[in-house]
Amino acid sequence: DRIGKLEEEGGAPLYMQLQRVLRSAIERQVLAPDEALPPERDLAEAYNISRVTVRKALDGLVDARLLMRRRGAGTFVASRVEKNFATISSFTEDMLSRGRQPHSEWLARSEGTVTPEEAMALGLGPGSPVYRFTRIRYADGQSMALEYATVPAQALASLNAVDESLYDALGDARPMRVLQRFRATLFTPEQTDLLGIPAGMPGLEIERRGFAADGRTVEFTKSYYRGDAYDFVAELSVAP
């Protein structure tokens, strides 16, 4: 009832009418991101149409990425996050600004000395001390990304200074400029397990080197974003 009614007789085909109703409910957030749709059987009954018609309507919306199916769990309103590409923000800020609750599951928090790759990325000499943080990042309980961050030890007060947000812990030393590299990735079976996603899902690997206002490199982070959860958007203009 809350979702809306179909048009009167003689309108567009029924599956299209249902699509229109669902589309509008999603746009008005009557159906919220990540909300489960009623079972197809219930929709068919409520709208007095066949299950085949319901399925056809939902298939179209899944193709249009407005809905997504989770194996064994049903059909959900898609909850893709649009991340602006042109400004620097933290995961925590990204989620809070969308009214979603960020949460991290810590997989590792350790102290060590730089690997050659980290030394190069962070501009540190061999043997420099670093902290490493591995986290699964969630929004409203839904896994969004896996993150492996390496931070020069001197950038933080201590290994345990990071609570929920790395950028909060960095404070005045948070990145003011970043260099990023993107590449397509397929999640490994281990990452698939950690994120609780279907096998074979594509992802986006983003390597970020972040520089504090004084120019020091303060993070070298590899983020693996779920391909079904993110749209990266940016406004570009022609070079002057």
- Chain residues binding ligand 16G by CB under 6 A are 90-92, 147, 149, 165-168, 206, 208, 219, 221, 223
Distance, CA of 227 to CA of 224 (rounded, Å): 9
Judged by beta carbon, residue 118 or residue 219, the one nearer ligand 16G is 219
Nearest approach in angstroms of CB 6 to ligand 16G is: 42
Nearest approach in angstroms of CB 161 to ligand 16G is: 12
**Which single residue is written with the structure tokens 């961050």?**
149
3-state SS, residue 147: strand
Judged by beta carbon, residue 23 or residue 137, the one nearer ligand 16G is 137
Nearest approach in angstroms of CB 80 to ligand 16G is: 15
Judged by beta carbon, residue 17 or residue 221, the one nearer ligand 16G is 221
Beta bridge partners of 203: 185, 226
Nearest approach in angstroms of CB 140 to ligand 16G is: 15
3-state SS, residue 12: coil
Beta 217-226 vs 230-233: how paired, if at all?
Answer: unpaired
Amino acid at 103: H
Judged by beta carbon, residue 31 or residue 195, the one nearer ligand 16G is 195
Distance, CA of 83 to CA of 56 (rounded, Å): 31
Nearest approach in angstroms of CB 97 to ligand 16G is: 12
Judged by beta carbon, residue 47 or residue 91, the one nearer ligand 16G is 91
Judged by beta carbon, residue 76 or residue 91, the one nearer ligand 16G is 91
CA triplet 140, 143, 145: central angle to 5 degrees?
Answer: 125
What's the first-to-final CA gap in the chain, in angstroms?
54
3-state SS, residue 187: coil
3-state SS, residue 124: coil
Nearest approach in angstroms of CB 217 to ligand 16G is: 12
